[in-house]
Amino acid sequence: MEFLTNLRKNRLALWGLLILVPMFFTAVFAQLLSPHNPVEPNMKNVLAAPSFSHPFGTDMLGRDVLSRVVYGSRVSLLVGFVSVGIATIIGVLLGAVSGYYGGVVDAIIMRFVDLMMCFPTFFLILAVIAFLEPSIWNIMIVIGLTSWMGISRLVRAEILSIKNKEFVLAARAEGLSNARIIFSHILPNALSPVWVVATLGIGGAILTESALSFLGIGVQPPTASWGNLLAQAKDNIEIAWWLSLYPGIAIFLTVMGYNLLGEGLSDILDPRRRYQAR
């Protein structure tokens, strides 16, 4: 109840939700909201300007751009949640083990984290994707496997500050196993900042997928993705401005929504920032 009360008082989070909730329902109910078949061509209506029957116009194959943008929201939602979910699981597990056990275990895991952080993430993703078949599932897995390092360092820092507190020492005195202490007593008190980072990471994952699709190594046509819609638009940008405008607006609004929500959650979940806001 306290969380919901603070959420209602936080303008950043409310603006983020105001943007993201319609996007979420658009993705879930794309089949109902889409006015046309997003992959069915109509060569009699090629590159038609926005009109009553096609509010976002049509593309070079006569397909309705509004329908393709609506279906593209499904790809963005899936990529964002799945890739960040993979990164969060890996980061939380490695950060928890590193922070709790310390010593040699901590040194090995943190050196591996440092090694991974030495590589530019986007170019590392490009290198991996070059050896794999371009598909939405490969994109999600690769983004998840290359974006967990920040979460692991964050969780490690949180656990280092928690593991010697009285309730953890009491759990050890009761003879509980290390796994139970980590997952039942420490992690529930260390995950608040992780939700903030994960929320911000969804926007980053959507941008990465869009960039990969724009380069032609992400989601492949005829599946609609905001990134490949922009890639197809670049050849006709001088005569068909609507092809790039609407997918670009969709990407901008979605990423901004997640950033606003993430900043709002940071204020809500961090007592020090909430006190300063007052």
In a domain, 43, yes or no: no
Q: What is the pLDDT of residues 155-203, one digit of tens each?
A: 999 999 888 888 888 888 888 888 888 888 888 888 888 988 999 899 9
Classified as helix, coil or strand, 164 is: coil
Average pLDDT, the chain: 87
The yes-or-no verdict on residue 83 having pLDDT over 90 is: yes
In a domain, 96, yes or no: yes
Asked if 197 and 210 count as a contact pair (C-beta separation under 8 A), the reply is: no
Backbone angles phi, psi at 143, to 5 degrees: -60, -45
The yes-or-no verdict on residue 272 having pLDDT over 70 is: no
For the residues 71-85, what does the mean pLDDT come to?
91
Asked if 73 and 66 count as a contact pair (C-beta separation under 8 A), the reply is: no
Classified as helix, coil or strand, 135 is: coil
Q: What is the pLDDT of residues 140-167, one digit of tens each?
A: 888 898 889 999 999 999 999 888 888 8
In a domain, 42, yes or no: no
In a domain, 26, yes or no: yes
In a domain, 52, yes or no: no
Task: Name the band, by pLDDT with cuts 50, 70 and 90, for residue 238.
Answer: confident
In a domain, 50, yes or no: no
Asked if 76 and 130 count as a contact pair (C-beta separation under 8 A), the reply is: no
The yes-or-no verdict on residue 10 having pLDDT over 70 is: yes
Query: 148-168 as b/e, with b when 16 or more CB fall inside 10 Å?
Result: bbbbbbbbbebbbebbeeeeb
What's the CATH number where 81 sits?
1.10.3720.10
Query: What is the structure's pLDDT at 277?
Result: 46
Task: Write out the residue range of the structural domain in which residue 237 sits.
Answer: 2-33+57-277
Q: How many domains does the chain have?
A: 1
In a domain, 71, yes or no: yes
**What pTM did the predictor assign?**
0.87
In a domain, 40, yes or no: no
Backbone angles phi, psi at 23, to 5 degrees: -65, -40
Tabulate helix, strand, coil % of the chain (nearest 5). 75, 0, 25
Query: What is the structure's pLDDT at 271?
Result: 55
Task: Name the band, by pLDDT with cuts 50, 70 and 90, for residue 44.
Answer: confident
Asked if 56 and 64 count as a contact pair (C-beta separation under 8 A), the reply is: yes
Classified as helix, coil or strand, 64 is: strand
